[in-house]
Structure 1
Amino acid sequence: MKKYLLTGLMVWLPLAITIWVLLWLVGLLDAVFAGFLNGISAITPTTSAPTIERLHGIPGLGVVLVFAALLVTGALVSNVAGRWWVKQWDKLFTNIPIVKSIYNSVKKVSDTLFSSNGNAFRTALLIQYPRQGSWTIGFQTGTPSGEVASHLGDEFVSVYVPTTPNPTSGFFLMLPRKDVIELEMSVDEALTYVISMGSVAPSAPVPSAATAPQ
């Protein structure tokens, strides 16, 4: 019975957690949208109250509208006029004390992570950490730049080492390029390997014709 219970748990637990996360995300976006509607109702005539109340009762509408807003925003800023407005937006926030520090930091991180031209989290690495002879998996996030690069030189890479089973926290390291081993596994496979604490190993790479034994 214990074996069957554990097997059933392994089948349903991933699905249950996935559904729970999705429901939490939908609830969060609906709450944000509800706050937006409350703000609108406070400045609009009372005749519009029934319409706003009906919008409150539609589940998941916040998700749809947020997705649509992101899609429209992306389309608008893809042209010259849209990029000009984004520059004005950046200038506004970078001139506000305190706000500019937060805004600039988040913007640089998001540009690095989501830019199609960037190298952040594109490569899984095998590194020795936290000491020689002890190995773990990290992800290349780029190369050192600015003052740090002037001290270290060009032959270093920036590496993020996630903790397990929660990969959203971790350690930032700058290691000599010669001390890291690039892995052929995808970033998704490497993250799964880390989150599962090594219990879900990625499949071995298929040898190419050039490297296959004769």
Structure 2
Amino acid sequence: MKKYFITGLLVWLPVAITLWVLLWVVGLFDGVFAALVSASQAVAPEDAQAPLERLKEVPGLGLVLVAGGMLLTGVFVANIFGQWWLRQWERALSKIPIVKSIYSSVKQVSDTLFSSSGNAFREAVLIQYPRPGCWTIAFVTGQPGGEVAEHLDPRQFLSVYVPTTPNPTSGFFLMLPRSDVIELKMSVDEALKYTISMGVVAPPAILGSDAQPLVELPRNPPG
């Protein structure tokens, strides 16, 4: 009975978690849409209140409309006219106290992470952490910059993010010598699965023992 129960669990658990994630995403977007509708009801005439209230009860409508709004926004700002309006919007936000600090910080991080020309989180590496002899997977986020670059040569150091397990949204930011970082051929998705599953879901071996560091490691690792 135990064997059959575990076998059935292995079949249905991935399905249940997938449905739970999808429902969570739909609920999140529906919540955003409901908030926008509530804001519209505050200024809408009385004869429009009932239709707006009914819109909030349509399941999945928020996901469709919010996703469609994001798509249309992307199309709009992809041309010169849209870029001009975007600059005016950012200029207006930059003059509001507190808001400008939050907005500029979030925008800088999101532009770095999601830019198609950026290198952040595009490469998985192997490093020794938290002490020599202990190995973990990290993700390259760039090179030391600003004042830090005056002390750490960007040609010799890399900035990496070490995610925690099983929650990869928290972790540690490290700047390491390139010689201490081993480049992995696995994709970022495979590396995340490996980390989140605590090593249970291992990616297929690509290079095996032929994997090479970004710069050749010394025979005796420091420390």
Q: TM-score, length-normalised on structure 2?
A: 0.88
Q: How does 1:74-153 map to 2 (within 5 A)?
A: 74-153=74-153
Do structure 1's residue 166 and structure 2's residue 156 form an aligned pair? Answer: no
Q: Which residue of 2 aligns with 1:175?
A: 176
Q: Percent identity?
A: 65
Q: Which residue of 2 aligns with 1:51?
A: 51
Contact 2:185 2:207 in 1 (8 A): no
1:35 paired residue number: 35
State which drifts further: 6-15 or 70-79.
Answer: 6-15
Contact preservation (8 Å) 2:144, 2:157 = yes
Name the SS of the counterpart of 1:199 in structure 2: coil
2: CA distance, partners of 1:4 / 1:32: 42
Partner of 1:157: 158
What per-residue deviation string (whole Å, max 9, x for no partner) do you get for residues 115-172 of structure 1? 0000011000000000111100000011111101111112111100000111111000
Offset of 1:42 from its aligned partner?
2.2
Regions of 4+ moved over 2 Å: none
* 1:107 aligned partner, one-letter code: K
Inter-partner Cα distance in structure 1 for 2:151 and 2:96: 32
Which segments of 5 or more consecutive residues in structure 1 lack a partner in the other structure? 208-214
2:16 equivalent to 1:8: no
Q: Secondary structure at the match of 2:175?
A: strand
Please report how far the alpha carbon of residue 111 of structure 1 lies from its aligned counterpart in structure 2 after TM superposition. 0.5
2:215 is matched with none
Q: How does 1:21-32 map to 2 (within 5 A)?
A: 21-32=21-32
Letter in 1 for 2:57: G
TM-score relative to the length of structure 1: 0.92
d(CA) in 2 for partners of 1:98, 1:48: 35
CA distance in 1, matches of 2:52, 2:134: 59
Q: CA RMSD in A?
A: 1.4
How many Å apart are 1:33 and its aligned residue? 1.2
Report how many aligned residue pairs link the two structures: 207
